[in-house]
Amino acid sequence: MGEPYLIGEAMTGGYGKGADILHACTIAVERGEIAVIVGPNGAGKSTAMKAVFGMLDLRSGHVRLDGRDITKLSPQDRVAQGMGFVPQTHNIFGSMTVEENLEMGAFIRRDDFRGTLAQVYDLFPILKDKRHQAAGELSGGQRQQVAVGRALMTQPKVLMLDEPTAGVSPIVMDELFDRIIEVARSGISILMVEQNARQALEIADKGYVLVQGANAFTGTGKDLLENPDVRRSFLGG
Amino acid sequence: MEFLNGFVALANFVLIPAVAYGSQLALGALGVTLIYGILRFSNFAHGDTMAFGTMCTILVTWWLQGMGVSLGPLPTALLAIPFGIAGCAALILLTDRVVYRFYRVQRVKPVIMVIVSMGVMFIYNGITRFIIGTEDQNFADGERFIIGVRDFKTLTGLDEGLAIRTTQGITVVTAVIVVAALFWFLNRTRTGKSMRAYSDNEDLALLSGINPERVVMVTWLIVAALATIAGVLYGLDKSFKPFTYFQLLLPIFAAAIVGGLGSPLGAIAGGFVIAFSEVGVTYAWKKVLGYWMPESLAPDGLVQLMSTDYKFAVSFVILLIVLLFRPTGLFKGKSV
Amino acid sequence: MSDMLRGTVLFGIMAVLIVGTGFVQSWNSALLILNMGLVSAVMALGVNLQWGFAGLFNVGVMGFVALGGLATVLVSMPPVGAAWSAGAGRLFLALALAVAVMAAAILLWKRLRRGLRGWVVAALLVAGFFAFRAVFDPAVALIEAVDPAATGYLGGLGLPVVLAWPVGGLLAAGVAWLIGKTALGLRSDYLAIATLGIAEIIIAVIKNEDWLARGVKNVNGLPRPLPYEIDLQNDPGFVETAAGLGLDATTASTLYVKLGYGVMFTLVLVLLLVLAQLALKSPWGRMMRAIRDNETSARAMGKDVTRRHLQIFVLGSAICGIAGAMMTTLDGQLTPGTYQPLRYTFLIWVMVIVGGSGNNFGAVLGGFLIWFLWVQVEPIGQWLMYHVTYGMADGSWLKGHLLDSVQHMRLLTMGVILLLVLRFSPRGLLPER
């Protein structure tokens, strides 16, 4: 078996000139699979993902996408290379309509993106109903759908989600997870950070438990859920 | 008949001047609000940007007049506006390259940008005075009135006259066209939408691959056009004097803030609110009220709420009221 | 120590510039620059207190300076008896009425419940406005009718003019308190626009309320704290002393008066500078800077940020008022038409930024340096233009235009200086420690 589709290997670094937050941390995701990063507060989960996306300076380690080294690329360039990123907050254009949000997602595309638009509307039918409404007026769950939809508009190979279910109700969370699985089925790799570790690991092909910026446990979602250490420390028994 | 006469007087002295003035303020405030939305600072140099654009237009107008070019009944300045915009745009883009970009890249606090714009204000002001001087310049030509007082009286048989100056008509028509074009651009074109996206959420815009330098450049170009057009319309309607343009900063900012900084729709609404209040409060209502009230109640005084010298006070009081009771303005603006 | 050295060197250069002016141009010019430099330094000190200490963006300096000027008239001019008997009672009644209406409106606003209160307060204000005008207008007409060519106003209190300096400070402080109460909660650029507007309104009031200080008709011949030159020239003792120094009486008298102002202004500046330094180093000053650097955390630590801001806003404005009174005393006249924001607000800002915001000595240095340049850019520009246009034909349009436009070089130069300092030395010539 070859290398994973996207891998951040032995990443060490922090924000600006600050102290290192990540210590030889490795995160990877296979084509069409779901990888989930979990861990206690302040473990550097979001930081690890941002490192993969190029939002902080790595002191050592590499990021490779489909075998190519992209460590030196800016986040914008990584978008062009097929990575989509959904930030945890401020992830929509609140004053613009749903459809305009999606159009802005496709900003770098010069071809006809109406097909992708239709796919996103198929995935999130509610967005089609509300496409002329300002995104800022939508409910929390719907906004997250807009945010995910916006990132899908570039037709990414990898979709990175930073706590997509933060602040939404359990029902909406399940719904969102279902959609995320659906996206993965269509061949897009998913890398996401989650607070709700148990539910996230249930849908994950691969799980990474980070502690203090380093890999503590790694395994399939199922393994981690069954691992007594992981259960005791992170899943509340 | 009394009522109609009163209404005509009202239209002549309040409504028409206020609509024209409001259009000019609205165009000015649109520029301010765009800069605030995209570049995220209050541009103190805006009044002087308007003055510079207008000056360029005036110089070209004089040249055209010297060449014998004329638009007939319309002011020659209309023909010169594109050149004025080009001149203004060149200066602004140069300023951005030499001055603003340095601070933008560093992402300095907005208040530092405001201080920087103070320096730019000095320079623009100096350039304008250096080239054209501080005196009043009249550059309006063509037909003075669309309809004059006498014509109106013979036409309608009313006692009160109504005059619509050509410049007032042109102001309103131009403003409508410009605003329509701007809103079409912002809401319908890819570049316009990317500007709104950048204004709404800078980081996400960058993530979406929107090029900030391009957004900023397009913004400055639009600002140059808006400022020049607003300045030329104001100059045609009243007269051109660099210092007056500097003073316009206050009502323009009042309009932009009252409407909600960063909101184009708000800037327009704010412009008219300020203009109508200014004209309404400083107008001597004796004539209109004389028509509208029974003779016994007709006022003795001028019924002028405030002398025209206090027009700044009017914009200011409205500004304060809005800020105290609805800090984001009539239309929800940004709060950076 | 190097800070100290830097300061000494820069102030030394400044002294050389002024003394050099004395040698190259004339001692009169040098003293004029020195005196206005002192006044500018005081203004800059006031603005630095607000911006440098507290980060308050006040662009209404002109208004407070003008209030100081107004104080000079109100304190030092002799009262106009006829005007007082004509309409003063009625006028004060009107002003009292206005205050009462405002107070009632505020009280009602606080007492009434939501819903109708907006209408009630608005109705009260409108009715109050017309009542005020009904009492006020006739009183103004009566006062302004009293010998309009010479007076037409109430005059002042006929007190020594130096008293006007603290009074000017108090007047500015009072108005600043009113403004601060309403506007200090606003965000920085809103506060900027608000103060810009207030300054315009203050100028508009001084220009238009002739009963107050004759408006644009100006008040001339303000009393002076120093003897008049002509009296000195007629004083045999003075002429003798001057001759002993090798000076003719006319030059000696003008120098004597200017030096006198210089000494008085220096005393004020030194006093204020000492106070400002003490304030900066006191716990109060440290807290101010803590608030400036991180308002949120200061608030979280239980500091009453708005109250502190109000204090420093009032203090800084008061200093500007004092400077305004000093300036009007030096001029010997109040001319409301000459107050322009570029000169009295933004130029002071250039002084503070160039000098070094947050550093009192920096502000003082900036005051001197920028004032010096403001005065000297014109002759320098003339000299420059003379050489630029040297080769051009006499009487050519361009040559005439260039020579005539030299006066506008000032603004351009100030802008360039401000931008250069902001770019290459953003903390100013004498940075905050």
Question: Chain C, 330-359: which have a CB under 8 Å from a chain B CB?
Answer: 340-342, 346, 349-350, 353
Chain C contacts of B315, Cβ < 8 Å? Answer: 197
In the predicted model, what is the mean pLDDT of chain A?
91
Tokens representing C112 are: 């009434």
Report the Cα C3 to chain-centroid distance in Å: 29
Is the pLDDT assigned to residue B315 strictly greater than 90?
A: no
Cα–Cα distances (Å) from B53 to A187, B90, B224, in that order, read: 55, 10, 7
Candidates C91, C42, C111, C20; CA nearest to C376 is C20
Chain C contacts of B243, Cβ < 8 Å? Answer: 340
> Domain for residue B334, yes or no?
no
Is the pLDDT assigned to residue A236 strictly greater than 70?
A: no
Beta-strand relationship, A57-65 and A68-69: antiparallel
pLDDT of residue A237: 56
**C237 & C309 share domain:** yes
- Residue C328, judged by CB atoms within 10 A of its CB (0-12, 13-18, 19+), counts as buried
CA–CA dist C347, B277 (Å, integer): 32
CATH of the domain at B149: 1.10.3470
CA A2 to chain B, closest CA, distance in angstroms equals 30
Chain B contacts of C413, Cβ < 8 Å? Answer: 126
Chain A contacts of B196, Cβ < 8 Å? Answer: 93, 95-96, 100
Candidates B220, B217, B260, B195; CA nearest to B49 is B220
B208–A108 C-beta distance less than 8 A? yes
Out of B45-59, B251-265, C129-143, C182-196, which region has the weakest mean confidence (pLDDT)?
Answer: C182-196
Residue A192's beta-bridge partner residues? A36, A161
The number of domains in chain B is 1
> Domain for residue B46, yes or no?
yes
Q: Do chains B and A touch (3 or more CB pairs under 8 A)?
A: yes
Angle in degrees, CA C225, C226, C232, rounded to 5: 155
Angle in degrees, CA C130, C136, C138, rounded to 5: 110
Chain B contacts of A75, Cβ < 8 Å? Answer: 206-207
Residue A159's beta-bridge partner residues? A84, A190
Question: Chain C, 179-208: which have a CB under 8 Å from a chain B CB?
Answer: 182-183, 186-190, 192-194, 196-198, 200-201, 204, 207-208
pLDDT of residue B336: 42
Mutate to test the interface with A, among B208, B213, B263, B331 (most CBs of A within 10 A): B208
Q: Which partners does chain A have (≥3 C-beta pairs < 8 Å)?
A: B
**C382 & C278 share domain:** yes
A79–B210 C-beta distance less than 8 A? no
> Which ipTM was obtained for this model?
0.92
Instruction: Return all residues near A205 (Cβ < 8 A) that are at least 6 apart.
Output: A30, A33, A34, A35, A220, A221
For residue B325, the tally of other CB atoms under 10 A from its CB is 8
A95 Cβ under 8 Å from any chain B Cβ? yes
> Domain for residue C112, yes or no?
yes
pLDDT of residue C384: 84
pLDDT tens-place string over residues A34-74: 999 998 888 889 999 999 999 888 899 999 999 999 999 99
> Domain for residue C433, yes or no?
no
pLDDT tens-place string over residues C210-234: 999 999 999 999 999 999 999 999 9
Residue B187 belongs to what domain range?
2-325
Longest pairwise C-alpha distance within chain A: 51
For A188, the 3-state DSSP assignment is: coil
B209–A107 C-beta distance less than 8 A? yes
Q: How confident is the model at residue C361 (pLDDT cuts 50, 70, 90)?
A: very high
Secondary structure, 3-state, chain C:
CHHHHHHHHHHHHHHHHHHHHHHHCCHHHHHHHHHHHHHHHHHHHHHHHHHHHHCCCCCCHHHHHHHHHHHHHHHHCCECHHHHHHHHHHHHHHHHHHHHHHHHHHHHHHHCCCCCHHHHHHHHHHHHHHHHHHHHHHHHHHHHCCCCCCCCCCECCCCCHHHHHHHHHHHHHHHHHHHHHHHCCCCHHHHHHHHHHHHHHHHHHHHHCHHHHCHHHCECCCCCCCCCHHHHHCCHHHHHHHHHCCCCHHHHHHHHHHHHHHHHHHHHHHHHHHHHHHHHHCHHHHHHHHHHHCHHHHHHCCCCHHHHHHHHHHHHHHHHHHHHHHHHHHHCCECHHHCCHHHHHHHHHHHHHHHCCCCHHHHHHHHHHHHHHHHHHHHHHHHHHHHHCCCCCCCCHHHHHHHHHHHHHHHHHHHHHHHHHHHHCCCCCCCCC
For B147, the 3-state DSSP assignment is: strand
Q: Per-residue pLDDT averaged across A10-26, rounded?
A: 89
Helix H or strand E segment including B146: strand B145-147
pLDDT of residue A41: 84
DSSP character string of B190-237: HHHHHHHHHHH-HHHHHHTT--HHHHHHHHHHHHHHHHHHHHHHHHHH
Is the pLDDT assigned to residue C18 strictly greater than 50?
A: yes
Beta-strand relationship, B145-147 and B164-165: antiparallel
C53 Cβ under 8 Å from any chain B Cβ? no
pLDDT of residue A128: 95
Cα–Cα distances (Å) from C297 to B100, B107, C241, C291, in that order, read: 30, 22, 64, 8
In the predicted model, what is the mean pLDDT of chain B?
91
CA–CA dist C5, C73 (Å, integer): 42
**C74 & C88 share domain:** no
Residue A14's beta-bridge partner residues? A57
**C63 & C143 share domain:** no
Q: Contact A86/A165 with Cβ under 8 angstroms?
A: no
pLDDT of residue B156: 86
Tokens representing C37 are: 């430099």
pLDDT of residue B333: 67
**Residues above pLDDT 70, as percent of chain A:** 98
pLDDT of residue C1: 54
**C242 & C106 share domain:** no
> Domain for residue C400, yes or no?
yes
Chain A contacts of B194, Cβ < 8 Å? Answer: 104, 107
- Determine phi and psi for B213, rounding to 5 degrees: -65, -35
Which parts of B107-211 fold into alpha helices (H)? Answer: 110-132, 149-156, 166-188, 190-200, 202-207
**C212 & C342 share domain:** yes
CATH of the domain at C229: 1.10.3470
pLDDT of residue C409: 86
Q: What is the DSSP letter of A1?
A: -
> Domain for residue B297, yes or no?
yes
Q: Which partners does chain B have (≥3 C-beta pairs < 8 Å)?
A: A, C
Chain B contacts of A92, Cβ < 8 Å? Answer: 201, 204
C208–B324 C-beta distance less than 8 A? no
Out of A98-107, B283-292, C332-341, which region has the weakest mean confidence (pLDDT)?
Answer: B283-292
Mutate to test the interface with A, among B196, B200, B210, B334 (most CBs of A within 10 A): B200
A89 Cβ under 8 Å from any chain B Cβ? no
Q: Pick the last residue of a domain from C102, C132, C154.
A: C154
Residue C396 belongs to what domain range?
2-79+155-424
For residue C241, the tally of other CB atoms under 10 A from its CB is 15
Tokens representing C99 are: 């205050």
Ramachandran assignment for B209, one of left (phi > 0), alpha (psi -120 to 50 degrees), beta (any other) = left
> Domain for residue C430, yes or no?
no
Instruction: Return all residues near B52 (Cβ < 8 A) that are at least 6 apart.
Output: B87, B88, B91, B124, B127, B128
Instruction: Return all residues near A172 (Cβ < 8 A) that are at least 6 apart.
Output: A140, A141, A144, A165
**C215 & C337 share domain:** yes
> Domain for residue B160, yes or no?
yes
Is the pLDDT assigned to residue C389 strictly greater than 90?
A: no
Q: Pick the last residue of a domain from C154, C187, C220.
A: C154
Q: Per-residue pLDDT averaged across C82-108, rounded?
A: 92
pLDDT tens-place string over residues C366-386: 999 999 999 999 888 888 888
Q: Is the pTM here over 0.80, yes or no? A: yes
CA A237 to chain B, closest CA, distance in angstroms equals 38
Chain A contacts of B203, Cβ < 8 Å? Answer: 87, 90
> Domain for residue B331, yes or no?
no
C204–B309 C-beta distance less than 8 A? yes
A87 Cβ under 8 Å from any chain B Cβ? yes
Long-range contacts of B298-306 (CB under 8 A, 24+ apart): B301/C137, B305/B281, B305/C129, B306/B281, B306/B282
**C288 & C219 share domain:** yes
> Domain for residue C102, yes or no?
yes
For A131, the 3-state DSSP assignment is: coil
**C15 & C108 share domain:** no
Helix H or strand E segment including A145: helix A140-152
**C114 & C246 share domain:** no
Q: Pick the last residue of a domain from C120, C154, C188.
A: C154
CA–CA dist B64, B73 (Å, integer): 15
The number of domains in chain C is 2
Q: Per-residue pLDDT averaged across B205-225, rounded?
A: 95
Q: Per-residue pLDDT averaged across B240-252, rounded?
A: 92
pLDDT tens-place string over residues A135-174: 999 999 999 999 999 999 999 999 999 999 888 888 999 9
Q: How confident is the model at residue B306 (pLDDT cuts 50, 70, 90)?
A: confident
Q: Per-residue pLDDT averaged across C241-267, rounded?
A: 92
> Domain for residue B332, yes or no?
no
**C147 & C231 share domain:** no
pLDDT of residue B294: 81
Is the pLDDT assigned to residue C103 strictly greater than 50?
A: yes
B188 Cβ under 8 Å from any chain A Cβ? no
In the predicted model, what is the mean pLDDT of chain C?
91
Mutate to test the interface with A, among B203, B204, B206 (most CBs of A within 10 A): B204
Q: Per-residue pLDDT averaged across C394-413, rounded?
A: 81
B203–A87 C-beta distance less than 8 A? yes
Is the pLDDT assigned to residue B335 strictly greater than 70?
A: no
Is the pLDDT assigned to residue B221 strictly greater than 50?
A: yes
**C47 & C192 share domain:** yes
Is the pLDDT assigned to residue B72 strictly greater than 90?
A: no
CA B192 to chain A, closest CA, distance in angstroms equals 11
> Domain for residue B90, yes or no?
yes
> Domain for residue B330, yes or no?
no
B120–C192 C-beta distance less than 8 A? no
CA B320 to chain A, closest CA, distance in angstroms equals 26
pLDDT of residue B160: 85
CA–CA dist B143, C164 (Å, integer): 55
CA–CA dist B181, B187 (Å, integer): 10
A75–B206 C-beta distance less than 8 A? yes
Beta-strand relationship, A189-193 and A206-211: unpaired
B167 Cβ under 8 Å from any chain A Cβ? no
Q: Per-residue pLDDT averaged across C249-258, rounded?
A: 92
Report the half-sphere exposure of B280 (CA within 13 A, side-chain side): 12
pLDDT of residue B334: 63
**Structural domains in chain A?**
32-43+74-207+214-234 (3.40.50.300)
